[in-house]
A and B are shown apart, each in its own frame.
Chain A
Amino acid sequence: MKQSLFEQQHQADWQGFALQLDALERGKADSQQTQTFAAAYRHLCQHLALAQSRGYSSHLIDRLQHLAMRGHQQFYRHRSPIGGQLLGFILAGFPRLVRTEWRFVLAACLLFFGSLLLMGALVYYFPDLVYAVMSPDRVAEMEHMYDPDARRIGRFSERDSGDDWMMFGYYIMNNIGIAFQTFASGLLFGLGSLFFLLFNGLMIGAVAGHLTQIGYGETFWSFVIGHGSFELTAIALAGAAGLKLGWALLVPGRWPRGEALRIAAASSVRLIGGVTVFLLLAAFIEAYWSSMTLASANVKYIVGGALWLLVLAYLLLAGRGDHAPD
């Protein structure tokens, strides 16, 4: 068949298909129209293949190729309901993923909580050690924040309840930023994640040890125990996701490094999704509950302990049943 005849016969189809594409690209397609889209797309692909094998002019082929490209973009759009997916992920997918990646999670937890506890104990027994990791100004600032005489406690001590909003924003920005950095820097062969895990562990450990040692323990621990459950776990999990990236580069196994990285990143980024949810919860608790001085220290310990148990139970047990939502 000559090209002009071919064009004549199918011109209307192509124009119709282009109109359909316009509507889809602007998100204004009605469902009646899209019924025929898949068939029209396959038809166009066939025309393109025919045009190529018959040696029609490059202009016609370019035109069909352009339509096919646009059709491909629309045909393979991801239109999954994000709400249902998110719910399934939170209820079952995330804890399952954490358990699947237990090696990296364990390594990150050991690094983070290990350095935290070790540094805490060291500073507690050798108080001067705190100045090895922090400047005296920072230490004084920390002491001021957790002064038992303060009415409200936390990172910005002199504030009233109207400020809770501001703190909520600040915690989100700050903590999630740290978690994202901990994850992303894992791309540097895992060194970045390693650094952030150890660095944060040492810092938090030093502060905790120091404040306990000088007798501010109650204000400090009752403040941090609540949101710490989510926040510290989230940092450790972000580190685990970063370590997984680094490990894929160091030990790619049977894949080329780029491919190994791509595979590792696909599951790492889901971990980060869960971490983000954790940190949003932590920021909420920190802004509205932890800073409250109404509840006594004992109540806070009980609630905080319960939250820790909740986090552990969630990560270890959720999504184990056969009928867990997918």
Chain B
Amino acid sequence: MPPTPSSVSATSPTLLDTRFKVETPEGIDLILRPAGVIPRALAFGIDLLIRGALLGALYAVLALFGQFGMGLATILMFLLTWWYMVLFEVLNQGRSPGKQVMGLRVIHDDGTPIGWAASLTRNLLRFVDMLPFGYTLGIISSLRHPAFKRLGDIAAGTLVVYRDEAPSAAVLPEAEALRAPFTMNLNEQRALLGFAERSQNLSSARRQELASILAEPLRVPAEQAEQQIHGIARGLLGPT
């Protein structure tokens, strides 16, 4: 199957990246990170366990009510088999319990929350994804799709993405705000800021090594380059 137009625009040719960009009517780009086969399989496994446990408990309780109870149990089993995913996805903002645990959610291709029709489609077509055994078709389909979609996702126009946690506040290393000795374009500014923000996650040797690349244009000795960059980053953020 050829990729859909949205996925063509989503994968920029320069970056080896699975991020999926969706432009919204507000004129901004939403960045979505589609989830691959393994986390989705785990989420499905968790859901399967939950359903199994529920069903076992239901049968144990309803068996006490004789035939009436068994009838009720069959109806509930029907609901669990075909509607468990749909109900959770639509009513719980795209998250079945398994997806919630794995930090995933289902959304439409355009980033909007999933609705009844799409959820029903993707979950009914799960039957085909499971063919001929153990999700073979679904796995093949999601491995060769740029956004890891199984057949049901392609038909329903849905996407399983990671729910990103809110980024924690970055602390810039202490330095005196400086003005850069040359003009920088936006990408260069962001690179310097990025270096300063991530400096806590880098070893000091690595920081030294990275910073010394800029020692010459900054016109400082290599040992002082790091401090200089931190200063410039401060200067970019606030008053100099």
Contacts and interface: CB of A to CB of B under 8 A. Distances in A.
B155 A176 contact: no
Interface residues of A, number: 66
B144 interface: no
Contacts of B186: 54-55
A166 B128 contact: no
Contacts of B117: 266, 269-270
A56 B187 CA distance: 10
A48 interface: yes
Given A2-B238, A45-B26, A258-B1, A58 B115 contact: no
B120 A77 contact: no
Contacts of A180: 82, 124, 127
B71 A2 contact: no
Residue with the greatest number of chain A CB neighbours at <10 A, chosen from B66, B70, B167, B187: B167
A265 B28 contact: no
Given A3-B236, A59-B170, A166-B74, A245 B155 contact: yes
Contact of B112 (A49, A76, A176): A76
A272 interface: yes
A222 B113 CA distance: 48
B107 A73 contact: yes
Contacts of B169: 59
Most interface-central of A56, A62, A72, A185 (chain B CB within 10 A)? A72
Contact-residue size bin, chain B (C-beta under 8 Å from the other chain)? 35 or more
A55 B154 contact: no
A166 B68 contact: yes
Nearest to B24: A72
Contacts of B66: 162
B210 interface: no
Nearest to B172: A57
Nearest to A161: B67
A181 B116 CA distance: 19
A52 to B, nearest CB: 8
Contacts of A54: 186
Contacts of A18: 166
Nearest to A57: B193
Contacts of B101: none
Interface in A20-61: 25, 41-42, 45, 48-49, 54-59
Interface stretch (A112-120, A121-129, A167-175, A200-208): A167-175
B100 interface: no
A74 B179 CA distance: 42
Nearest to B197: A59
Interface of B: 1-5, 24, 26-28, 30-32, 66-68, 70-75, 77-78, 81-82, 90, 93, 107, 111-113, 115-117, 120-121, 124-128, 131, 151, 154-157, 164, 166-167, 169-170, 186-187, 189-190, 193-194, 197, 233, 236-239
Given A78-B115, A169-B72, A258-B2, 13 more contacts: A3-B236, A56-B190, A68-B28, A78-B112, A166-B74, A173-B78, A187-B155, A256-B4, A256-B5, A266-B157, A268-B121, A269-B117, A270-B117
8 contacts: A45-B24, A48-B28, A82-B116, A165-B68, A169-B74, A173-B74, A176-B82, A269-B120
